[in-house]
């Protein structure tokens, strides 16, 4: 729930930033004399954010796959060990008071 509230607050902040900076424009200059046409500031910030999220996702994807495979192997090993434990465990008989004798 707190993540949802935090996400909503971040989205509201980004939206208000975009609305307040929709009139300011910047020109991005690259190497070799290349440049862009004037862009609103919020487009530059939003574009940078999207590219960053994409790059981080690419960097974390192999580790995520590795961890999923490791988790699957460990779950299978745990299931095998639990089955082995059940097979090795002797049957449990209830040990209560002996009711077969009558007391006079």
Tens digits of residue pLDDT in 65-81? 999 999 999 999 999 99
CB 17 within 8 A of CB 42: yes
Indicate the pLDDT class of residue 11, thresholds 50, 70 and 90.
confident
The pLDDT score that the predictor gives to residue 25 is 84
**Distance between CA 9 and CA 17 in Å, rounded?**
12
> What is the pTM assigned to this prediction?
0.54
CB 43 within 8 A of CB 22: no
| Tokens found for residue 50 | 């999207």
Residue 40 has pLDDT above 70, yes or no: yes
Write the DSSP symbol of residue 21.
Answer: T
**Distance between CA 72 and CA 74 in Å, rounded?**
5
């Amino acid at each position: 729930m707190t993540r949802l509230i935090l996400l909503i607050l971040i989205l509201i902040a980004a939206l208000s930033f975009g609305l307040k900076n929709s009139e300011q424009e910047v020109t991005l200059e690259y190497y070799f004399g290349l440049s862009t046409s004037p862009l609103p500031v919020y487009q530059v910030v939003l574009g940078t954010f999207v590219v960053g999220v994409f790059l981080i996702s690419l960097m974390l994807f192999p580790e995520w796959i590795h961890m999923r495979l490791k988790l699957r192997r460990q779950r299978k090993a745990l299931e095998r060990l639990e089955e082995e434990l059940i097979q090795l465990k002797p049957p449990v008989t209830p040990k209560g008071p002996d009711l077969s004798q009558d007391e006079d």
